[in-house]
A = this chain, B = another copy of it.
Amino acid sequence: MSRDPRIPADAEAPVEILHKARWLTLKQRGRWEFVERNNPEGAVIIVAVTPADRVLFVEQYRVPIRQFTIEMPAGLIGDQGHADDADIAATARRELEEETGWTCGRIVPLHAGPSSAGMSTEIMHFVRALDLRRIGDGGGDETENIVVHEVPRGEAGAWLRAMADKGYSIDPKLFAGLWFLEHGQAG
């Protein structure tokens, strides 16, 4: 099979490990440097709307950027090799419960793609959580300190912009979450 001429020669270069730390590894392929999680199955972001039609957001402090962020509930997918839909759904349900105190009846995949394809192999999965039911207070595990925000669906975009104006760091992927909410087939 002949090689697609649009694929640069670097794509066939061997990968060199520049530094392997506990959670992340810095690698190089040809001229391209990139970071990979040592658990490379990626992360899942959960788009969740309560029965009162409120979108769930979580507020927490992020050490790498030294800022408080607003995010949707999210977590790293398990550590048993390649993640399948069941692993992703299990992670999504667990993180939703731990972070927000809500559980869900169903998890529907929305999209999966790279978070920063020029410098990282990280893949972000978006799922929709459906049939929400309150089971606790949320707030995260013992290492986390999470505040839950429940925002009326129609005000979510304006609320995110207002929180950005207040100095919170807002991952642009959140607006992708809102786009999926407005355009999804998942109700």
Contact = CB atoms under 8 A, between A and B. Distances in A.
B35 A69 contact: no
Interface in A155-170: 157, 161, 164, 169-170
B114 A62 contact: yes
A126 B21 CA distance: 32
Interface stretch (A24-32, A49-57, A93-101, A130-138): A24-32
Contacts of A28: 21
A182 to B, nearest CB: 8
How many copies of the chain does the oligomer comprise? Answer: 2
A21 B17 CA distance: 11
Contact of A21 (B18, B124, B180): B18
A108 interface: no
Interface string A1-42: 000001110110000001101111010111011110100000
Contacts of A119: 23-24, 35, 37, 64, 120, 122
Given A21-B33, A126-B172, A65 B115 contact: no
A122 B173 CA distance: 13
Contacts of A180: 175
Contacts of A106: none
A171 B65 CA distance: 21
Interface of A: 6-8, 10-11, 18-19, 21-24, 26, 28-30, 32-35, 37, 43, 60-69, 71, 111, 113-122, 124, 126, 145, 147, 157, 161, 164, 169-176, 178-180, 182-183
20 contacts: A6-B61, A10-B63, A21-B33, A23-B33, A24-B119, A29-B64, A35-B120, A37-B119, A62-B117, A64-B118, A64-B121, A65-B114, A65-B121, A69-B114, A111-B161, A113-B172, A115-B116, A116-B116, A175-B176, A175-B179
